[in-house]
Amino acid sequence: MTKLTGRTDRLEMPVNFPNPAVILETQELTRRFDKFTAVDALNISVTSGEVFGLLGPNGAGKSTVIKMLTTLLPPSAGRATIAGYDVTHQQGAVRRVIGYVPQALSADGSLTGYENLLIFAKLYDIPSKQRRERIRDVLAFMGLEEASDRLVRNYSGGMIRKLEIAQSILHRPQIMFLDEPTVGLDPVARSQVWNLMEELRADYGTTIFLTTHFLEEADSLCNRVAIMNRGKVIATGTPSDLKAALGKPNATLDDVFIQYTGDELASGVSYRDTAKTRRNARRLG
Ligand SMILES: Nc1ncnc2c1ncn2[C@@H]1O[C@H](COP(=O)(O)OP(=O)(O)OP(=O)(O)O)[C@@H](O)[C@H]1O
């Protein structure tokens, strides 16, 4: 695997950063849409270098949490800090230390991979002299060098996902937020994406915060998970602790999920059906 080079631009250490090991912390974080409470007094804490999975049925509030943590949506109440920076009052500083791969497509199909990365390099204020090298580095890290001059509309779903991850790591974030990073990918592409994220965590200590519907995947890759339902976190722990707490032999994370959420969506469609549909979904046109 190609290593990323170059120096991360350092930010001043924020005041009020009591425990550098805790990179993300929320206190009673809440988001309401009119009278509906989508995220209800969320309290979570993520340690630097962890892979943390937020699990839950459709509509549980996972994307809303990610949008608040990435400064895209203001909280209605409570607070959250990333690397000690407040997501409401220090948005610029938060944005410099995070990478975000949204659920929706974030690459432009009418541009080449290189051109997409150039736009992000400019957005992230990477000095013009460093842009070419940074882009070359991330393309190599993602295994996309060969495809860099091809239009993204001709990429496979897995290649697009890799490009989107490449876009989000150009500025060497301390923590990455990924909303359903492997949805719509075939098993080979899914495992490639996971390997890349594992590589990022292992080699650069990047903290990974993600949502996923694939419980098996979460089980093998997340250090800790939180299960959310109807806006509230109802269980947090390591996958093995959560499984052991069920007290039944060979319990899976699916069993844990069913125990806490009832495995039923508001629409009556089962969780597994939805996960399967999304698995089969095509991500681009
Ligand atoms: N802008 C909005 N206006 C009104 N309601 C919203 C808005 N955004 C989200 N919601 C509602 O908030 C709830 C949580 O939505 P959210 O997208 O966070 O869930 P989710 O757990 O990410 O679901 P999925 O797994 O389907 O992505 C849902 O009931 C959704 O309809």
Which residues, at least 6 apart from 154, have a Cβ–Cβ distance to it below 8 Å?
none
Strands 175-179 and 98-101: parallel
Q: What percent of the chain has pLDDT over 90?
A: 60
pLDDT value of position 263: 60
| SS3 state at 65 | helix
* Ligand 1 pocket test target in 35, 62, 234, 279 with most atoms within 8 Å of CB: 62
pLDDT value of position 269: 41
* Ligand 1 pocket test target in 33, 178, 229 with most atoms within 8 Å of CB: 33
pLDDT value of position 14: 47
Q: Residue 191's closest CA among 170, 168, 163, 161?
A: 161
Kindly report the pTM of this predicted structure: 0.85
- List the structure tokens of 174: 């301390």
- Measured in angstroms, how far is the CA atom of residue 64 from the centroid of ligand 1? 6
106 beta partners = none
Which residue has the CA at smallest separation from atom 12 of ligand 1?
Answer: 38
Which residue has the CA at smallest separation from atom 9 of ligand 1?
Answer: 64
**Mean pLDDT across the stretch 228-248?**
93
Amino acid letter for position 71: T
Strands 175-179 and 51-55: unpaired
Which residue has the CA at smallest separation from atom 18 of ligand 1?
Answer: 61
82 beta partners = 24, 85
**Mean pLDDT across the stretch 78-100?**
95
Distance (Å, whole) CA 120 – CA 165? 11
Instruction: Identify the architecture of domain 31-106+174-280 in CATH.
Output: 3-Layer(aba) Sandwich (3.40)
**Mean pLDDT across the stretch 88-108?**
92
List residues near ligand 1 (CB under 6 A).
33, 38, 56, 58-64
pLDDT at 12 over 90: no
79 beta partners = 27
Distance (Å, whole) CA 39 – CA 22? 22
pLDDT value of position 268: 39
- Measured in angstroms, how far is the CA atom of residue 134 from the centroid of ligand 1? 35
- Measured in angstroms, how far is the CA atom of residue 186 from the centroid of ligand 1? 26
Q: Domain ranges in the chain?
A: 31-106+174-280
The pLDDT confidence band at residue 261, using thresholds 50, 70 and 90, is confident
The pLDDT confidence band at residue 19, using thresholds 50, 70 and 90, is low
- Catalogue the E-assigned strands of the chain: 22-33, 36-42, 45-47, 51-55, 77-82, 85-86, 98-101, 175-179, 207-211, 224-229, 232-237
Contact 231, 41 (CB under 8 A): no
User: What torsion do the CA atoms of 7, 8, 12, 13 make, to the nearest 10 degrees?
Assistant: -110
Query: Which DSSP category does 94 fall into?
Result: H
**Mean pLDDT across the stretch 210-222?**
90
Contact 88, 79 (CB under 8 A): yes
Q: Radius of gyration (Cα) for the chain, nearest Å?
A: 19
